[in-house]
């Protein structure tokens, strides 16, 4: 066994194993590494990114500065993809919400798991070099302040440091060789609100940038930029204004405030959080930031007199040296549907109408694929990547604005709207292949019943405040609407004359210039779990005309990037939602990805594949989890009180449905008997915090938890019959 260092958030290390073998492992890495463009091993610099000589490495979340999720490697190709098999795996701590793509810098892999935990591994063997824990066990009470669990979408590497944002909003700069903390900074400006950080940091010149989440609760969006060397705050950009009577933190907010009602719900935060996609162009020296939805969701509550509500659901181009805005484009003005523009953005050079344009491309939640000039922000095209899209008819190319349909106005009466709140495309990365000229988008075609909540809006500090009743379709298209029984609409009346509702997932290959879908692969069977269809995993492509994607059912597919033909399907056994990546060590190409745990106790892991590899072994079982779930065959608990059931239904919708119906968390209808027995310890005691289910005792009382449990048991019995 080699040396393993476990770094803590205080920067200290615990050493286990034999130091001699550890030195050998580091020497092996040094010998097999390719020097970077700057001439020093183990450093990522502007020169290294610009020269793009690291095709065999994967130095940013999206491979290179263009964030294309595309690699020039060709050793694995359409002729030999059938020989792809197991190379190595490494068990890691985490949950089903493993959403990051590892990076590889000079043959060392850096990967993040739950809440900001980081692993450094020998990329050839999977041997752990060090592990960093930001204090995940202490985050349990924060999980109730996140719409979708303590996910982490990756790390950034610059010079000789690894940067990661922990779930509690602390940004860490780690020594890349040891995992020790070089510096850390708390990025959260108001601890009384529901702020968390789940996105990857982005490097833009001499700064590292991070945003936050919480728009479904009461967060006011902003991004913070810190000096990469010292951690000192360089600037902060707020994405929505606060009450104009209190002044503006920077000049852009004065302009933004004019697009809000002067009597907006300033107390509720307003949303606009930048929780995921960013990109940086080192040639133009511009930082691109995607912003999120409004909070509360219905504009009629948030900003009663309307307005565009800048800078919600927008792409911002910011000068990273000054923090000043150069241009912006708003994809969903006056957002009322949770249609974020935080999805990954790809930088490319495309020939459009005979002219080579520097563009930025994004497929945000709202169903349209946008191509913008990344120098000026000019809209070049906006075509649907969805076939079911009813909230807007089209995007007007003269004004750049969507033509919102009457069907979208659920504040007038309940409506079935496509896409749902999760969007046609969410955080799962898409890829742009420069060889085929196609963009590969993991798509979910799903509608949702939206209804304005019947009760008067009352702002709840640090609680869910989106104020919409939602109807979620199961795999057959039957809706479960969370609302007060006495005011629930007639669903048959709501959905008549609308598109058919069974959800389906696809991998779609789209020409970004013409907007035409060249091919699609139906991935619905791979994304169906019990009575729900979820979205497919993130995507990666290569210059060998291949596209790679994993799924919730534990399979991993390799397809011909030109026509979608499946060349290889490998059963991994763990759910896969993150995008894979590829790299080369000593002449061997590997494909690697994060694979989450399962409800049966199977551990999360990082899996690497190579040509000539073996059958992938099943994931390691957690003995304690297996014992806890064993013998649980009979349903437990009594359901007798309809008032309690209805209360539980509403509490479940407010606090649980976004993860356990609309996210990647386990489905609770029907609920396993072991979970029924342990329900109060899970919900109020945080005993499954290491799996992403935190302690809700600060939000829910024991009576609340009893009501939710009662509702779930009853709903499960009805589902069985």
Enumerate the active-site residues.
338
Beta strand ranges found along 446-492 (DSSP E): 448-452, 468-473, 479-481
Distance CA 716, CA 721 (A): 9
Distance CA 330, CA 334 (A): 9
Q: Which residue has the tokens 């309690």?
A: 644
**How far out from the chain centre does Cα 192 lie?**
24
Name which of 454, 471, 465 is nearest 417 in CA terms. Answer: 471
- Could you tell me the two tokens for 632? 């649980």
Distance CA 311, CA 289 (A): 11
Q: What is the arrangement of strands in the sheet containing 345-352, beginning at the earlier edge strand?
A: 345-352, 355-362, 368-373, 379-384
Phi-psi region of 244 (alpha: psi -120 to 50; beta: other; left: phi over 0): alpha
Those residues whose C-beta lies under 8 Å from the C-beta of residue 95, and which sit 6 or more positions away, are: 114, 149, 150, 596, 597, 604, 690, 691, 692, 693
**How far out from the chain centre does Cα 429 lie?**
8
How far is the CA of 642 from the CAs of 110, 439, 637, in angstroms?
A: 51, 50, 15
Asked if residue 268 lies in contact with residue 303, where contact means CB atoms within 8 angstroms, the answer is no
Collapsing DSSP to helix, strand or coil, 141 comes out as helix
How far is the CA of 50 from the CAs of 42, 60, 70, in angstroms?
A: 16, 13, 16
Collapsing DSSP to helix, strand or coil, 391 comes out as coil
Name which of 709, 615, 581 is nearest 655 in CA terms. Answer: 709
Distance CA 515, CA 172 (A): 40
Q: What DSSP string describes 252-273?
A: HHHHHHTTS-TT--GGG-EE--
Asked if residue 387 lies in contact with residue 403, where contact means CB atoms within 8 angstroms, the answer is no
CB atoms within 10 A of CB 459: 14
Distance CA 181, CA 161 (A): 9
Distance CA 521, CA 504 (A): 11
Residue 22 carries which DSSP code?
A: H
Residues 126/127/130/135 CA torsion (nearest 10 deg): 60
Name which of 274, 282, 285 is nearest 312 in CA terms. Answer: 274
Distance CA 407, CA 448 (A): 12
**How far out from the chain centre does Cα 53 lie?**
29
Distance CA 235, CA 185 (A): 14
Distance CA 85, CA 611 (A): 6
């Amino acid at each position: 066994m080699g040396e393993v260092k476990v770094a803590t958030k205080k920067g200290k290390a615990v050493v286990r194993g034999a130091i001699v073998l550890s030195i050998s492992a580091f020497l092996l890495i040094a010998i097999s590494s390719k020097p970077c463009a700057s001439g020093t091993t183990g450093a990522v610099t502007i020169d290294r990114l610009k020269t793009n000589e690291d095709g065999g490495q994967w130095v940013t979340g999206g491979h290179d500065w263009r964030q294309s999720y595309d690699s020039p490697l060709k050793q694995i190709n359409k002729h030999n993809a059938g020989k792809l098999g197991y190379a190595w795996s490494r068990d890691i701590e985490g949950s089903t919400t493993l959403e990051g793509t590892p990076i590889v810098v000079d043959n060392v892999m850096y990967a993040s798991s739950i809440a900001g935990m980081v692993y450094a591994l020998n990329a050839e063997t999977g041997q752990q070099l060090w592990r960093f824990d930001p204090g995940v066990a202490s985050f349990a009470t924060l999980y109730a302040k996140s719409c979708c669990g303590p996910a982490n979408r990756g790390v950034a590497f610059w010079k000789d440091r690894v940067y990661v944002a922990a779930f509690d909003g602390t940004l860490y700069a780690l020594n890349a060789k040891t995992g020790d903390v070089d510096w850390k900074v708390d990025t959260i400006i108001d601890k009384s609100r529901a702020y968390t950080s789940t996105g990857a940091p982005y490097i833009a010149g001499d700064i590292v940038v991070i945003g936050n989440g919480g728009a479904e609760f009461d967060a006011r969006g902003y991004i913070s930029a810190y000096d990469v060397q010292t951690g000192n705050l360089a600037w902060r950009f707020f994405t929505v204004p606060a009450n104009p009577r209190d002044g503006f933190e920077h000049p852009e907010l004065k302009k933004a405030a004019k697009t809000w009602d002067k009597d907006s719900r300033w107390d509720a935060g307003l949303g606009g959080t930048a929780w995921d996609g960013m990109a940086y162009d080192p040639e133009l020296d511009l930082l691109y930031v995607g912003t999120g939805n409004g909070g509360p969701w219905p504009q009629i509550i948030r900003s009663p007199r309307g307005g565009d509500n800048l800078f919600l659901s927008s792409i911002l181009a910011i000068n990273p040296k000054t923090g000043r805005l150069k241009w912006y484009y708003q994809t969903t003005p006056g957002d009322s549907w949770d249609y974020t523009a935080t999805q990954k953005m790809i930088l490319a050079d495309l020939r459009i109408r005979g002219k080579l344009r520097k563009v930025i491309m994004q497929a945000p939640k709202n169903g349209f694929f946008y191509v913008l000039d990344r120098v000026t922000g000019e809209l070049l095209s906006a075509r649907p990547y969805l076939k079911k899209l009813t909230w807007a008819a089209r995007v007007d190319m003269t004004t750049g604005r969507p033509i919102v349909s009457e069907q979208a106005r659920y504040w007038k009466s309940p409506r079935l709207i496509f896409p749902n709140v999760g969007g046609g495309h969410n955080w799962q990365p898409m890829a742009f292949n420069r060889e085929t000229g196609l963009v590969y988008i993991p798509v979910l075609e799903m509608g949702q019943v939206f209804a304005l909540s019947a009760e008067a809006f009352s702002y709840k500090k640090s609680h869910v405040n989106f104020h919409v009743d939602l109807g979620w379709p199961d795999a057959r298209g039957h809706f479960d609407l969370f609302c007060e029984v006495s005011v629930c609409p007639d669903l048959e009346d709501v959905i008549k004359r609308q598109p058919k509702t069974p959800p389906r997932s696809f991998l779609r290959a789209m020409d970004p210039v013409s907007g035409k879908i060249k091919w699609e692969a139906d991935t619905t069977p791979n994304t169906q779990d019990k009575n729900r269809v979820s979205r497919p995993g993130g995507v990666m492509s290569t210059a060998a005309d291949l596209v790679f994607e994993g799924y919730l059912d534990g399979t991993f597919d390799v397809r011909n990037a030109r026509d979608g033909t499946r060349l290889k399907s490998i059963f991994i056994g763990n759910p896969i939602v993150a995008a894979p990546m590829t790299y080369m060590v000593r002449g061997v190409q590997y494909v690697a990805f994060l694979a989450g745990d399962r409800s049966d106790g199977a551990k999360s892991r990082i899996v690497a594949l190579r040509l000539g590899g073996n059958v992938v072994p099943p994931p390691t079982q957690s003995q304690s989890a297996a014992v806890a779930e064993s013998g649980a065959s009979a349903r437990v608990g009594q359901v007798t009180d309809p008032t309690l059931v209805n209360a539980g239904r509403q509490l479940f919708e407010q606090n649980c449905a976004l993860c356990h119906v609309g996210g990647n968390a386990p489905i609770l209808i029907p609920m396993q008997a072991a979970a029924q027995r342990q329900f109060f310890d899970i919900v109020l005691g945080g005993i499954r915090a290491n799996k992403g289910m935190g302690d809700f005792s600060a939000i829910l009382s024991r009576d609340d938890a009893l009501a939710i449990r009662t509702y779930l048991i009853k709903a499960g019995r009805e589902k069985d019959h």
